[in-house]
Amino acid sequence: MTETIESFETAKGNVFGDLLTARVKDKPLKIGLITLGFFEYWRMFPDTLKANVTADMTCVYDHLRRYLNRDEVVWSGIIDTLDAAEAAGQKLANERVDLIVYVAGTYCPDYMAIQALEHVRHVPVILFNTQHNNKINLATNYENILRNSALIANLQLAATFKKMGWYRDLKVVVGSIQDSAAYEEMTKYIRAYKAYLSLKSTNIGVIGHVFRGMYDFEYDKTMIKGTLGPNIIAIQVDHLLDQFGKATEEEVEAIIAQTTDRFNIVGLNEDDIYKSSRFYVALRNTLERFRLDALTLLGQHYVEQKTGTTSYLANTMMHEEGKYVVNTEGDVHGLIVMTLMNMLSGQVPAYAEWGEYDEELNALLMVHHGYADTDYATDKSTVKVNRSPEQWGLQGAGFGFEYTLKPGEVTISHLIIDAEGYKMLIVKGEALHIPQNIPCEEITAVVKFNTPIKSFLAALIKEGFAHHCIIGYGDLTEELSNVADFMGIRKVVY
């Protein structure tokens, strides 16, 4: 008998008519490399020019393969005639490349580049303006000047693009063929584009709704899909509660054992730990059942009351495992930024609220609601598990973490939609070393900024960003800026 296909809302089995059966897996990008020479010059300088230009372009190819070792670089060799340009364009189209790196090895007329690019007009282009080294040879000859004459070709081609209306967001990188900074810049751009593409197949579940009164978090699923990329899927809270009821004792006991073995637990009884461990199993199984990549849970009141606990142990374990990204209070836009930062850095960032300022330190206290990867702690041995200081209808103490985030360079971001559309906050800061955990039964961080703190806060408030912020370790400002450009949204950078 043929199985009846139903919606995920009501189906008892694991195949649904309105969700893909298998998650869309990220695949390596295909980077098309277009390198140009000019047939006219080969006969003028027959002994070495073509060989030297080919060697330069091979050097670029080898560097790209090394820097983009998780992706594939497709190169058809030097294009030096119109026939070669046509063949290269067809090859790149047949390979279905995702992005083009364009490099002129010497001067070449723009019509050859255009012939090749017409086949792959739908993908972004990085124009790499390069030369053999980064110094002028004052004893040079004309052949060597031709070898380093790509700038003429690139100015000509970029001006032609402007006249034709092509590549309005052309990415230009300048550096010699051995310049590591140039390859790092291209790598960041390509990594950002890969994350932007990945967002389009990301499934984000929403259980509950935005916390009442938090209008800054309200969202439109259509705007998110059309502008930012992810699919927003509303999951009825009954599905989570059903999984909470179905969690087996064996599954729950395994989580209890991990929790009690790893953490210094203060003021919680066995029932608090049991319910929190059961919540982890329920949340994990909900994510898996509905093929979600990320999930935001309102939590407050209803879920806490029905389960007798918080999601904070579950969220912490999810982030440490790195398979799923989760947050609370219905903060969908924050969850998208968390997912994006995870794609860019391989680490799930922390999720916090702006706090009080310190003028002497030029810093802010950030407060997090009880969950984050414990690898972020200044000293993991001091991580404490305690009650949840905010008691939303709990039967018991709940479950939360207390520690202070470790020092290091951080990037802070969030998204909001206002009357003019979407905009992304991008701020670089430094998490300061705080030797003793702040004893507030929460996760905290003290972050220093470059802008004078009162001026920064005045500008932030006036600009109108959400009261949450996402804190990722490392400098992700360039990648986030590139993603905002791909999305076509405004950037606010401090």
Same-domain status, 327 and 383: yes
**Residue corresponding to tokens 């899927």:** 233
Domain identity same for 228 and 338:
yes
Cα(169)–Cα(277) distance, integer angstroms: 48
Helix (H, G, I), strand (E, B) or coil at 414: strand
- As beta bridge partners, residue 327 has 296
Is residue 14, in this structure, part of any structural domain at all? no
The residue out of 161, 183, 198 marking a domain boundary is: 198
Residue that is last in its domain, among 178, 198, 218: 198
Which amino acid is residue 190, in one-letter code?
I
Same domain, 244 and 108: no
- Residue 9 domain-assigned? no
Tokens of 379: 């000293």
Q: Are residues 236 and 161 in the same domain?
A: no
Q: 220: closest CA among 53, 118, 347, 332?
A: 332
Question: Is residue 96 included in any domain, yes or no?
Answer: yes
Q: Give the CATH number of the domain where residue 214 resides.
A: 3.20.14
Domain assignment present for 396:
yes
| The predicted structure's pLDDT at residue 2 | 64
> For residue 215, what pLDDT is reported?
80
Token pair for residue 142?
């004309």
Residues 141 and 274 in one domain: no
Assigned domain for 24 exists: no
Tens digit of pLDDT per residue, the chain (494 long)?
A: 467 888 898 888 888 888 888 887 788 999 999 999 999 999 999 989 999 999 999 999 999 999 999 999 999 899 999 999 999 999 999 999 999 999 999 999 999 999 999 999 999 999 999 999 999 999 999 999 999 999 999 999 999 999 999 999 999 999 999 999 999 999 999 999 999 999 999 999 999 877 777 888 888 999 999 999 999 999 999 999 999 999 999 999 999 999 999 999 998 999 999 999 999 999 999 999 999 999 999 877 778 888 888 899 999 999 999 999 999 988 999 999 999 999 999 999 999 999 999 999 999 999 987 799 999 999 999 999 998 877 776 777 789 999 999 999 999 999 999 999 999 999 999 999 999 999 999 999 999 999 999 999 999 999 999 999 999 999 999 999 999 999 999 999 99
- Within this chain, do residues 331 and 220 fall inside the same structural domain, yes or no? yes
Quote the distance between the C-alpha of residue 287 and its chain's center: 20
Domain assignment of residue 103, given as a range: 30-198
Closest CA to 397 of 407, 405, 386: 386
Residue 315: CA count within 13 A, CB half-sphere = 26
> Strands 468-473, 408-418: parallel, antiparallel or unpaired by DSSP?
antiparallel
Of 152, 168, 198, the domain-final residue: 198
Q: Enumerate residues 6+ apart whose C-beta is below 8 A from 52.
A: 132, 147
Strand order in the sheet with 231-235: 231-235, 203-207, 294-297, 325-328
Tokens of 252: 């729950």
CB atoms within 10 A of CB 91: 18
Terminal Cα-to-Cα distance of the chain (whole angstroms): 62
Claim to verify: residue 91 and residue 182 sit in the same structural domain: yes
Provide the CATH number for the domain around residue 145.
3.40.50.10940
